[in-house]
Amino acid sequence: MTTKRTVFFISDGTGITAESLGHSLLSQFEGVEWIKQRIPFINTREKALEAIQRIEAVAERDGCCPIVFTTLVDEEISTLLEEAPALCLNFFKTFVAPIEAEINIKSNHTVGRTHGRTDSSDYKNRIEAINYTLAHDDGITDRDLSQADVILVGVSRCGKTPTSLYLAMQYGVKAANFPLIPEDFDRGMLPGTLKEHKAKLFGLTIQPERLAQIREERRPNSKYASLANCRAEVSDAEKMMRREGIHWLDSSTKSIEEISTTVLQEIRLDSKASF
């Protein structure tokens, strides 16, 4: 029998941080169906009282305590919320005190700092990186490649585009990407002017079976999606990357977050960690 439990993510800002750690914790419990409710922008006493009413209604409906994950910064609102009939876990409050003690500086308790700083250079970098990445998706152009932080290469549909966008959005990394296509294998040469930017190249490969499955969804019964063709393309791409000395990763069972994290390590962009 599956247990049903309601979870709230409550924040004075977007609630994205509370959700991120909350989801991570919940993924550790099996046999529980989590009903998730997001309550962002709780930055006044009145809104906090409304949130408490929602929690009370759910506690009554479920016949048990909801779990409330918060990142509330404001002392008064946070304390108010603790009166709700719930297991209230404040990710923020728990860790601010030990950091204050360690560095001997008081935190400023400013609300909405995490995802509300559009004037910071980190934020501007991220927006610029998203624009760059969109303009350099799928080999559209090899202009301004000298500005790229990384250039992903690999056969069509191996995960280059979502990975590039994740790198840009999460880390402010300018990620161009180029497909390796049969014409490149015939010529035996990397596409466009990529040879000049070899130090920035990173390859993605994929199991032919998985590739065929993905391509079949896009273009059913095509030669493009056939297993034989996928096998040949993947084999040719790997040969080319090996010959050119391009590091690569098999994306078959990896999420875009895992691929992105590995790319950052490989291209030595680890220190570029803006968000």
Residue 267: both structure tokens together: 């291209």
Is 65 annotated among the ligand-binding residues? no
222 in a labelled binding site: no
How far apart are the C-alpha atoms of 55 and 62, rounded to whole Å? 10
Supply the minimum distance, in Å, between the C-beta of residue 189 and a second copy: 28
> Which residue reads 């439990």 in tokens?
5
Q: What is the sign of the dihedral through the CA atoms of 266, 269, 270 and 275? A: negative
188 is in an annotated binding site: no
Could you give the angle at which helices 227-244 and 208-218 cross, rounded to 10 degrees? Answer: 120
Q: Which is nearer to a second copy, 11 or 236 (CB)?
A: 11
User: In angstroms, what is the minimal distance from the CB of 171 to a second copy?
Assistant: 10
DSSP count for the chain of H helices, then E strands: 10, 8
Q: How far is the CB of 255 from a second copy (least distance, A)?
A: 5
Q: Is 160 annotated as a binding residue?
A: yes
Q: Are 197 and 151 within 8 A, CB to CB?
A: yes
Nearer to a second copy, 74 or 236 (CB): 74
Amino acid at 215: R
Tell whether 219 is in a known binding site.
Answer: no
- Of 23 and 231, nearer to a second copy (C-beta) is 23
Cβ 59 to a second copy shortest distance, Å: 12
* Amino acid identity for residue 57 in this structure: A
Residue 71 or 205: the one with the smaller Cβ distance to a second copy is: 71
> How many whole angstroms separate alpha carbon 240 and alpha carbon 252?
19
Instruction: Point out the annotated binding site for ADP.
Output: 154-161
Instruction: Point out the annotated binding site.
Output: 154-161
